[in-house]
């Protein structure tokens, strides 16, 4: 396989991961909205969604797992 097709395959995987993450964030936001509007004191009910969304953002968009590599994520 040539370098060009390998690069385009990797790019397609990254784009697909981004769209999946955006969809997951949208679904979590909708659930948060319905919980917030239907529960009197929604703070404790919303915490799992807040943590899940934060984790997704940290990993997918901010690449937090790269911080654990010895070279600073510049592999």
| pLDDT, average across residues 58-67 | 81
Please state, rounded to an integer, the average pLDDT across all residues of the chain.
85
The better pLDDT of the pair 64, 51 is held by 51
| Neighbouring C-alpha atoms within 13 Å toward the C-beta of 5 | 2
Angle value at C-alpha 21, between 14 and 1, nearest 5 degrees: 15
The better pLDDT of the pair 69, 47 is held by 47
If DSSP states are collapsed to H, E and C, what string results for 36-75?
A: HHHCCCCHHHHHHHHHHHHHHHHHHHCCHHHHHCCCCCCC
What confidence score (pLDDT) does residue 39 get?
A: 93
Rounded distance, CA 52 to CA 61, Å? 14
What confidence score (pLDDT) does residue 68 get?
A: 75
What confidence score (pLDDT) does residue 2 get?
A: 54
Cβ within 8 Å of residue 28, ≥6 positions away: 49, 52, 53
How confident is residue 48, by pLDDT bands cut at 50, 70 and 90? very high
| pLDDT, average across residues 42-56 | 93
């Amino acid at each position: 396989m040539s370098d060009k097709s390998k690069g385009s395959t990797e790019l397609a995987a990254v784009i697909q991961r981004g769209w999946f993450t955006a969809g997951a964030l949208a679904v979590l936001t909708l659930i948060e909205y319905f919980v917030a509007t239907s529960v009197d004191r929604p703070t404790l009910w919303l915490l799992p969604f807040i943590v899940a969304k934060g984790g997704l953002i940290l990993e997918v968009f901010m690449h937090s797992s790269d911080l654990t590599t010895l070279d600073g994520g510049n592999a």
